[in-house]
C-alpha cells in the first residue's frame, strides 16, 4: 500500500488486505474449535491467528476454499509447498501430476486434482500428461496456475476464439467449466501454423485485463513475452509466464531459481537420519541404498509434522533462518 | 459494528439453536467489543500492514491481561516493554498525518505515564524515560548516535523531572521531523555528488549548505510569507546558480572534497541550531 491509503474510504482500506475476511475467519475458527482455543483467552488466540497470517503459515492444513480466498493466501500456500517439499528437487526426483497432487493433498486435504493437472499441462505443453516433471518446473507452473487462476481462464477463452477465427472483442464471460473439459488444443491448426498471431493475442489479453479487473501478471512482462515471436501457443505463453523471474519476484513467495533448492536445516536433519540408518544393525550393504531412498522419501512427511510443531510452538521463528536465503 | 460481527458469524449456521449458543458464547467472551476496539484503532492509524498491526495489537492486549492475571506487587509491565509499545504507537503514522500522529503521541504518553512505583507530583512522564524514548526514536529512524546526540542534548530532560504532555509532544515531533530532515540531506548529498562513489566536491556541498542555511534563516515575516520566501531561496534554479558559481571558483582550487558524514553533520547542525533548548 502507498501513502494514498489515507485517501481511501474505510471499506476500501480494509478491502485492500482483506482484513474483514480474516477477522470473520478468525471468529469462525474460534467457534469451530472452542475447546482448544478458549483456554488461551480471545486476545491471545487472535494474536496468534493474525501472527500466523502475517508469517504465511496460516494456510497449512486449511481447506482449499480458504487458500483460494485471498492473494496473500495463495502466495503463502505456494511458499509452504516449496518449503515442505524442496528436498524432492534436491534429489532430482521426477514426479507425475498425480504424485504431486497427493503431496498437495497432504498439506491441503481437499486440494483439487484439476489444479495440479492444470499446472502439469503447462509444464508438458499439453502433451504426454503422464510424464514426470522436475520439482522446480512444477512449482513454478503451480504458482502461476493458482495465483492467476481467473486470468488463465479468461485468456484460454480468448485463445480459443482467436484460434477458431472469432473476433476476440465479443464479451464472453468464462463459465465455470474447469480447464480439463475444454477441447484439446492440438487441432488441425498445428499442421500449418502453430498458435495464433502474437500481437492480436496481446491486444486481446490487455483488453481483458482492463475489463475484468482480476489479478493478472504485470503488463510489461506480458508484453515482453508476447513480443518475442510472431506466433504464440497458449501453453507456450503460460509456460513463459511460469518461467519469468520477474513475475515470480512480484508474487514474492519463492526465491530465485538458483536458490530454490537451498535448505540447510533439512540437509543437517537428513544427514543425521542417514547416519542413524547406516549404523542400524538390521541394515546390510545391499539394503543401504534402498534405506537411503526411503529415508529421503519419508522425510517430507516427517518434516511436515516436525515443521508443523515448530511453526505452532515457536510462533514462526523458522522464518528468521529462512530469510537469509532470500 | 457489533451487529455486523454477529451476523457475520451466525450466517454460517442455519440452525437457530446453535447460532444462539454461539452468540452467547461470543458475548460471554466480549468478542464484539474487542473487535470493535481493534477495528477503530486500525482505521484510525491506517498502517501499511493492517494484518501485522492487528497481530501486535492483540498481542499487546493479551500480554496486558495475562500480566494482570498473575500476582500483584510486581509492576505489570517492565519499563522496556512500555517503551517498545510506545515506540510502536509512534511509528504508526507519519508526522505529516497530523491528527493521527497527535493521537498516537497521546496514547504513547499515557502508556509511559502509568505504572511506576510512585506517582510523580504533578503527573507527567519521568525525564529518564522521555530521554530514552527520544533516543530510541532517533536510532530506530536510522540516525547514528553521533548525528542525534547534539539534538538530544538540547531537548532532553533531567532524569527526575516530570515531562508534561505538550513538551513530550514537541520533543517527539522534533525527533521525527529531524529524522526526515537528515534523510533528505543524505539524498541531497547524493544528488550533489552525482550519484558516483566518489565524495562530492567540497565547494558544491558548501554551496548547497549555504543555500539551505539562507532558507532556514528567513525569520522576519509572518508564517506563510516565510515559507514562501524560504522555498524560493531553496528553489532548484537558485540552488543551481549557487552551485554553478561555486563550480567556477572550484576550478581554481585543488579538488578538495567533503565526505557524506561531514555533510550530514553540517546539515544537522543547521537544524539543531534552530531548536530551542529545554531550560
How high is the ipTM of this complex?
0.71
Residue B125 β-bridge partners: B163
Q: Is A232 helix (H, G, I), strand (E, B) or coil?
A: strand
Range A200-218 average pLDDT: 86
Q: Is A133 helix (H, G, I), strand (E, B) or coil?
A: strand
Q: What string of DSSP letters covers chain B?
A: -HHHHHHHHHTT---HHHHHHHHHHHHHHTHHHHHHHHHHHHHHH--S-HHHHHHHHHHHHHHHHHHHHS-SSS-SS-HHHHHHHHHHHHTSS-TTSHHHHHHHHHHHHHHHHS-SSSPPTT--EEHHHHHHHHHHHHHHTT--HHHHHHHHHHH---TTPEEPHHHHHHHHHHHHHHHHHHHHHHHHHHHHTTTSSSPEEHHHHHHHHHHHHHHHH--SS-HHHHHHHHHHHTSHHHHHHHHHHHHHHHTTS---EE-HHHHHHHHHHHHHHTSPPP-
pLDDT-based confidence at residue A289 (cuts at 50, 70, 90): very low
pLDDT-based confidence at residue A81 (cuts at 50, 70, 90): very high
Angle among Cα A131, A132, A138 to the nearest 5 degrees reads 115
Contact B59 A51 (CB under 8 A): yes
Element (H, E) at A112: none
> Closest Cα to residue A101, out of A84, A113, A86, A87?
A113
Residue B19 near residue B10, CB atoms below 8 Å: yes
Q: Taking CA atoms, what residue in A is nearest to B45?
A: A6
Q: Measured between CB atoms, does A42 come within 8 Å of chain B?
A: yes
Range A155-176 average pLDDT: 73
Mutate to test the interface with B, among A32, A47, A65, A75 (most CBs of B within 10 A): A47
Predicted TM-score (pTM) above 0.90: no
pLDDT of res. A57 = 92
Share of chain A above pLDDT 70, in %: 76
> Cα-flanking dihedrals φ and ψ of residue A188, to 5°?
-70, -10
Contact A50 B58 (CB under 8 A): yes
- pLDDT for B139-158, tens place per residue? 888 788 888 888 888 887 78
Contact A43 B42 (CB under 8 A): no
Q: What is the 3-class SS of B45-102, one letter each residue?
A: HCCCCHHHHHHHHHHHHHHHHHHHHCCCCCCCCCHHHHHHHHHHHHCCCCCCCHHHHH
- Mark which residues 232-251 of A lie under 8 Å from B by CB: none
Among the ranges A40-54, A280-294, B175-189, B207-221, which has the highest mean pLDDT value?
A40-54
pLDDT of res. A2 = 57
CA dist A185 to A115, A126, A190, A241, Å? 18, 8, 9, 19
pLDDT, averaged across chain B = 76
Contact A41 B46 (CB under 8 A): no
Range A90-114 average pLDDT: 91
> Closest Cα to residue A143, out of A119, A163, A160?
A119
Q: Which residues of B touch A27 (CB under 8 A)?
A: 5, 8-9, 26, 31, 35
DSSP class of residue A4 equals G
pLDDT at A163 over 80: yes
Neighbours of B207 (CB within 10 A): 23
> Cα-flanking dihedrals φ and ψ of residue B257, to 5°?
-130, 165
pLDDT at A312 over 50: no
Amino acid at each position: 500500500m502507498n501513502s494514498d491509503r489515507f485517501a481511501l474510504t474505510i471499506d476500501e482500506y480494509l478491502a485492500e488486505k482483506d482484513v474483514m475476511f480474516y477477522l470473520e475467519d478468525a471468529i469462525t475458527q474460534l467457534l469451530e474449535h472452542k475447546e482448544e482455543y478458549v483456554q488461551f483467552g480471545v486476545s491471545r488466540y487472535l494474536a496468534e491467528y493474525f501472527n500466523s497470517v502475517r508469517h504465511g503459515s496460516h494456510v497449512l492444513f486449511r481447506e482449499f476454499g480458504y487458500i483460494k480466498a485471498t492473494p496473500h493466501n495463495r502466495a503463502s500456500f505456494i511458499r509452504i509447498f516449496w518449503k515442505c517439499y524442496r528436498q524432492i528437487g534436491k534429489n532430482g526426483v521426477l514426479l507425475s501430476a498425480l504424485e504431486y497432487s497427493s503431496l498437495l493433498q497432504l498439506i491441503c486435504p481437499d486440494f483439487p486434482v484439476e489444479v495440479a493437472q492444470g499446472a502439469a499441462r503447462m509444464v508438458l505443453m499439453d502433451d504426454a500428461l503422464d510424464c514426470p516433471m522436475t520439482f522446480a518446473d512444477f512449482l513454478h507452473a503451480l504458482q502461476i496456475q493458482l495465483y492467476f487462476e481467473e486470468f488463465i481462464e479468461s485468456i484460454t477463452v480468448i485463445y480459443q476464439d482467436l484460434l477458431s477465427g472469432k473476433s476476440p472483442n465479443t464479451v464472453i464471460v468464462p463459465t465455470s467449466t474447469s480447464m480439463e473439459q475444454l477441447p484439446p488444443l492440438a487441432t488441425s491448426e498445428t499442421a500449418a501454423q502453430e498458435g495464433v498471431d502474437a500481437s492480436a493475442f496481446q491486444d486481446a489479453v490487455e483488453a481483458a485485463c482492463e475489463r475484468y479487473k482480476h489479478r493478472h501478471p504485470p503488463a510489461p512482462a506480458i508484453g515482453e513475452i508476447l513480443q518475442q515471436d510472431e506466433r504464440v501457443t497458449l501453453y507456450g505463453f503460460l509456460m513463459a509466464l511460469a518461467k519469468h523471474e520477474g513475475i515470480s519476484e512480484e508474487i514474492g513467495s519463492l526465491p530465485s531459481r538458483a536458490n530454490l533448492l537451498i535448505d540447510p536445516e533439512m540437509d543437517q536433519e537428513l544427514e543425521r537420519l542417514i547416519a542413524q540408518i547406516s549404523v542400524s544393525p538390521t541394515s546390510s550393504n545391499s539394503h543401504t541404498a534402498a534405506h537411503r531412498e526411503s529415508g529421503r522419501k519419508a522425510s517430507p512427511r516427517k518434516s511436515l509434522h516436525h515443521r508443523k510443531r515448530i511453526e505452532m510452538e515457536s510462533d514462526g521463528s523458522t522464518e528468521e533462518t529462512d530469510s537469509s536465503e532470500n | 459494528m457489533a451487529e455486523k460481527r454477529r451476523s457475520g458469524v451466525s450466517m454460517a449456521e442455519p440452525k437457530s439453536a446453535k447460532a444462539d449458543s454461539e452468540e452467547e458464547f461470543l458475548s460471554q467472551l466480549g468478542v464484539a467489543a474487542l473487535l470493535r476496539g481493534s477495528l477503530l484503532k486500525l482505521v484510525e492509524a491506517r498502517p501499511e500492514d493492517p494484518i501485522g498491526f492487528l497481530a501486535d495489537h492483540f498481542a499487546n492486549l493479551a500480554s496486558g491481561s495475562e500480566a494482570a492475571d498473575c500476582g500483584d506487587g510486581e509492576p505489570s509491565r517492565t519499563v522496556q516493554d512500555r517503551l517498545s509499545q510506545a515506540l510502536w504507537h509512534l511509528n504508526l503514522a507519519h508526522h505529516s498525518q497530523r491528527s493521527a500522529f497527535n493521537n498516537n503521541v497521546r496514547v504513547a504518553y499515557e502508556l509511559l505515564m502509568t505504572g511506576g512505583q510512585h506517582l510523580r507530583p504533578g503527573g507527567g512522564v519521568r525525564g529518564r524515560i522521555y530521554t530514552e524514548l527520544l533516543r530510541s526514536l532517533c536510532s530506530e529512524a536510522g540516525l547514528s548516535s553521533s548525528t542525534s546526540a547534539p539534538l538530544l542534548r538540547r531537548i532532553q530532560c533531567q532524569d527526575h523531572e516530570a515531562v508534561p504532555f505538550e513538551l513530550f509532544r514537541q520533543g517527539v515531533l522534533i525527533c521525527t521531523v529531524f529524522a526526515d530532515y537528515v534523510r533528505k540531506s543524505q539524498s541531497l548529498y547524493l544528488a550533489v555528488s552525482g550519484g558516483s562513489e566518489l565524495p562530492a566536491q567540497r565547494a558544491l556541498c558548501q554551496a548547497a549548505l549555504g543555500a539551505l542555511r539562507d532558507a532556514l534563516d528567513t525569520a522576519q515575516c509572518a508564517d506563510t510569507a516565510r515559507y514562501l520566501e524560504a522555498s524560493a531561496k531553496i528553489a532548484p534554479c537558485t540552488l543551481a546558480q549557487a552551485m554553478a558559481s561555486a563550480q567556477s571558483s572550484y576550478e581554481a582550487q585543488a579538488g578538495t572534497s567533503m565526505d557524506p558524514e561531514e555533510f550530514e553533520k553540517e546539515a544537522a547542525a543547521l537544524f539543531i541550531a534552530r531548536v530551542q533548548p529545554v531550560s
